[in-house]
Amino acid sequence: MTRWGTRWTTAAAAVVAAVAVHDLRQRRHAILRNFPVLGHFRFWLEAIGPELRQYIVTDNDQERPFNRDQRRWIYTSSKDLNNLSGFGSDNNLEMAEEYVIIRHVAFPAPAAPKEAPVPAAKVLGAAHGRPKAFRPASIVNISAMSFGSLSGPAVEALNRGALGAGCLQTTGEGGIAEHHRHGGELIWQIGTGYFGCRTTAGDFDLGRAVDQVASAPVRAIEIKLSQGAKAGLGGVVPAIKVTAEIAAIRGVPVGQDCLSPPRHRAFDDVDGLVDFVETLAAATGLPVGIKSAVGEQPFWDDLADRMLARGEGPDFVTVDGGEGGTGAAPFVFADHVSLPFRAAFPRVYRTFAERGLHEDLVFIGSGKLGLPDTALLAMGLGCDMVNVGREAMLSIGCIQAQRCHTGRCPTGVATQSPWLTGGLDPDLKSVRATAYLMALRSELARLAGVCGRAHPALVDLDCFELVDHGRRAVPAREVFGYEPGWGLPSPADQAALATIQEDVDVH
Ligand SMILES: Cc1cc2nc3c(=O)[nH]c(=O)nc-3n(C[C@H](O)[C@H](O)[C@H](O)COP(=O)(O)O)c2cc1C
C-alpha cells in the first residue's frame, strides 16, 4: 500500500472507531448501543425510504398521494414534453372499485387549441351584487399555500405561473408576501391567525384588511374555516421555517412555532360568519367566500338556511377533501379527520341545491383535483372551478419527498433554507407552472368535447359511470343521487357562456 493509502485507511478506521465509541456511550438509541456503526444504516435507510420506494421498488400506480403515472403526467406537461402513454392502460380495472369511466359520445367536438381560454361559467360575486364581481378567466386555479410553508422562490414561481396561465393564486393563510407580487392575481386568504390584518393582540383588524387588499391585485377574499388535511386544527409553521422575513409578515417571533388557533375570534356562529363576509365585502367591494373541509352536517344546513333567509353570505365555497395536502399536520388528522372529496363535495352541493341556492353560489373543489380525470368528475359534481395545490408544487420541481414539515425539502419548494431554495429558479419554474396549468385546463376542455359538451362546466354526472371489478358499471347520477340539472350552471349562465365560447371560436 502507498503512503497515502495507509493514511486514508488509518483515518477511516479512526472515524469508524470514534463513531463506535459514541454509539456505545449514547443512551438515546438502543439500536446504536446494540449495533454500533452498523445501526446507522437503519436510520439512513429510513430517511431515504420514500426515494428508494419511488425510484426502485413501487410500480406505476402504487405510490401515494400521487403515483408515478400521475406525477409523470404533471412533470411532462409542465416541461411541455410528450405526456402520452404507450401500450395501453396499466391500471388494474379487474380489481378496482368505483373506477371512474368517462362516457364518450360517438361524434366528439374537435379539440380547441391548447392556449384557448376556459373561463368559469359563473360570475363571482354577481348574485350578491358585489361591486367588483368578475368572471374568473380560468376554471383551474392555484390553491392556498402560504409563504412560510412554501419558499419565497416557490411562491414567486407559482405567482408568475398563474400570470402566464391567466389564473388566480390563493395566498394561503400566511398573508401577502413580496413573493406574491409578481403580476399574478390573487385570492387573499384570511385564516384564524389574521396574518396581515391582525391587531397586536391577534384580533381581526378591518382597517388593515382594507389596506392589504389595496396593496396587491386581490380579486377576492377567502375566509379559511378549515382544510382537509387538518380540519379542526389551526395552522402551524414549524420553528425552523419561521425566518425574520416570515415573522415580519405575520407579526410573530422569529424561530418559534407559528400557530394559528383552531377557530376564528371574529365570529362564533353561522350568523356571525355571514356578518363577517358582508363586512369584508362592503369594505372592499370584493367577492368573499369560505374554505372548509366537511365534517358535521348541521353547519352546512344552518349556513344554507341563513343565506336563504338573509339573501346574504359567501359568494363562493371552496370544499377541500380530507385527502388534501398540508405543510405540517398530525398523522391522525391527515388520515382520519374530515371526509374525502367524493363524499364531502356532493353533501355540500346537495345542501345548497335542495334550497335552490346552487346556481347562485360558485363552488370550488380541491383535494387531488389537479389531474384530468379527477378534475372532470369534480366539474360533473357541480364544481365551477378546481384549485390545485400539490400538483402545482410538482410542476415546479417537488419530488413528493414528503418533508414539508421538516424544513428540509430537497427541491427548495417547501423550505426556508437559503441553500435549498437557491436551487429553485423562479424564471424557469414559473414557465413550468404555466405549462402545467394550461395543460390541465385544455385537457378538461378536450374531455368535455369527448362527452359532447362545449365546456367543462356543462359536464354533468350523465357523463360518468363508476365501474366495480371491471364489470358492474353504474351511472354516476345514480351513485351520487343527483337530481336532473344538478351540477350545471343556470340557463342564463349557460347562455352567457355560449356567447363567450362563440367569441373565443371567432377570434
Ligand atoms: C405545503 C402546503 C401548504 C398549504 N397551506 C395552506 C394554507 O395556508 N391554507 C389552506 O387553506 N390550505 C393550505 N394547504 C392546502 C391546499 O390549499 C389544498 O387545499 C390541499 O392541498 C388539497 O389540494 P391538492 O390535493 O391539490 O394539494 C396547503 C397545502 C400544502 C401542500
Q: What are 104-144's pLDDT values in tens digits?
A: 999 998 888 888 999 999 999 999 999 999 999 999 999 99
Residue nearest to ligand 1 atom 8, measured at CA: 172
User: Which residue has the least CA distance to atom 12 on ligand 1?
Assistant: 144
Cα dist. 430→387, 412, 425, 440 in Å?
17, 14, 8, 16
Task: Say whether 237 sits in a helix, a strand or coil.
Answer: strand
- What atom of ligand 1 comes closest to residue 171's alpha carbon? 8
CB of residue 320 inside a 6 A radius of ligand 1: yes
Q: Which of 465, 483, 398 is nearest to 432 (CA)?
A: 398
Distance 141 CA to ligand 1 centre (A): 12
State the distance from the centre of ligand 1 to the C-alpha of 370, rounded, in angstroms: 12
Same domain, 33 and 150: no
| 241 vs 447, higher pLDDT | 447
pLDDT at 26: 87
Structure confidence at residue 86 (pLDDT) = 86
pLDDT surpassing 60 at residue 320: yes
Q: What is the mean pLDDT of the chain?
A: 93
Cβ proximity of 328 and 238 under 8 Å: yes
**pLDDT of res. 131:** 98
Domain count, the chain: 2
Specify the 3-state DSSP secondary structure of 291: strand
Q: Can you give the C-alpha Rg of the chain in angstroms?
A: 25
| pLDDT at res. 29 | 78
What whole-number distance in Å separates Cα of residue 204 and Cα of residue 381? 35
SS3 content of the chain, % helix, strand, coil (to 5): 45, 10, 45
Based on the fold, state whether residues 41 and 168 are members of the same structural domain. Answer: no
Residue 195 in any domain: the answer is yes
pLDDT tens-digit map of 426-446 = 999 999 999 999 999 999 999
Among 22, 57, 92, which residue terminates a domain?
57
Res 347: pLDDT: 98
Based on the fold, state whether residues 46 and 145 are members of the same structural domain: no
Q: Is residue 108 part of a domain?
A: no
> Is 282 within the bounds of a domain?
yes
Task: Inform me whether the pLDDT recorded for 507 exceeds 80.
Answer: no
366 lines ligand 1 (CB under 6 A): yes
Residue 159 CA to residue 183 CA, distance in Å, equals 7
DSSP state of 492: H
| Cell numbers standing for residue 301 | 344546513
What count of Cα atoms within 13 Å lies in the side-chain half-sphere of residue 387? 30
Burial of 329 (0-12, 13-18, 19+ CB in 10 A): buried
53 and 153 in a single domain? The answer is: no
* 273, 367: one domain: yes
Q: Are residues 164 and 273 in the same domain?
A: yes
Q: How confident is the model at residue 249 (pLDDT cuts 50, 70, 90)?
A: confident
Identify whether residues 40 and 155 lie together within a single domain.
no
Q: If you ran DSSP here, which 8-state letter would residue 290 be given?
A: E
Q: Is residue 371 part of a domain?
A: yes
Tell whether 303 and 174 lie within a shared domain.
Answer: yes
β-sheet with 472-475: strand ranges across: 99-102, 464-468, 472-475
In three state form, how does the secondary structure of 166-221 look?
Answer: CCEEECCCCCCCHHHCCCCEEEEEECCCCCCCECCCCCECHHHHHHHHHCCCEEEE
Among the listed residues 378, 225, 192, 379, the one whose alpha carbon sits nearest the alpha carbon of residue 295: 225
Say whether pLDDT at 74 is over 70: yes
pLDDT band for position 505 (50/70/90)?
low
What per-residue confidence (pLDDT) applies to 222? Answer: 98
How high is the pLDDT of residue 60? Answer: 73
The last residue of a domain, from among 435, 453, 471 = 453
Q: Quick check: CB of 230 below 6 Å from ligand 1?
A: no
Structural contact between residues 431 and 437, judged by C-beta atoms closer than 8 angstroms: no
Atom of ligand 1 nearest to the CA of 325: 21
* 420 CA → ligand 1 middle, Å: 21
Give residue 388 CA to ligand 1 midpoint distance, Å. Answer: 8
Q: Which residue has the higher pLDDT, 200 or 151?
A: 151
For residue 388, which atom of ligand 1 is closest to its CA? 26
* Containing structural domain, residue 155: 140-453
Give a yes or no: residue 175 inside a domain. yes
| Residue 267 and residue 385 in one domain | yes
pLDDT of residue 463 exceeding 80, the answer is yes
Q: Is residue 460, in this structure, part of any structural domain at all?
A: no
C-alpha cell at 189: 386568504
At residue 56, does pLDDT exceed 80? Answer: no
Q: Has residue 358 got a pLDDT over 60? A: yes
Residue of 64, 66, 145 with the most ligand 1 atoms within 8 Å of its CB, for mutation: 145
Give pLDDT tens digits for 208-220: 999 999 999 999 9
Is the residue at 464 inside a domain? Answer: no
- Mean pLDDT highest for which of 37-46, 234-243, 328-337? 328-337
pLDDT of residue 27: 80
Is pLDDT above 90 for 506?
Answer: no
Q: Give the list of residues 6+ apart from residue 76 with CB closer than 8 angstroms, or none.
A: 82, 83
Instruction: Please report the pLDDT score of residue 504 as a whole number.
Output: 62
Question: Are 252 and 395 within one domain?
Answer: yes
For the cut 60, the answer to whether the pLDDT of residue 157 exceeds it is: yes
Q: What is the pLDDT of residue 49?
A: 73
**For residue 415, is pLDDT > 80?**
yes
| pLDDT 10s digits, 297-312 | 999 999 999 999 999 9
Q: Give the pLDDT score at 236.
A: 80
Residue nearest (by alpha carbon) to ligand 1 atom 10: 144
Task: Dump pLDDT digits (tens) for 252-280.
Answer: 888 988 888 999 999 999 999 999 999 99
d(CA 460, CA 487): 6
Predicted pLDDT at 501: 78
Residue 186: is its pLDDT beyond 60?
yes
Q: How many CB atoms lie within 10 A of CB 417?
A: 16
* pLDDT mean over 453-459: 97
Asked if residue 40 lies in contact with residue 32, where contact means CB atoms within 8 angstroms, the answer is yes
**pLDDT for res 460:** 98
**Is 86 inside any structural domain?**
no
**CATH number, residue 430:** 3.20.20.70
The C-alpha atoms of residue 164 and residue 15 are separated, in whole angstroms, by 53
Examine the domain organization and report whether 51 and 144 are in the same domain: no
Answer yes or no: are the C-beta atoms of 190 and 232 closer than 8 Å.
no
The domain boundary, picked from 33, 57, 81, lies at 57
450 alpha carbon to ligand 1 midpoint, in Å? Answer: 31
> Which among 138, 215, 225 is positioned nearest to 178, based on CA atoms?
215
Least confident of 67-76, 82-91, 136-145, 471-480: 82-91
Question: Which letter does DSSP use for residue 97 in this model?
Answer: S
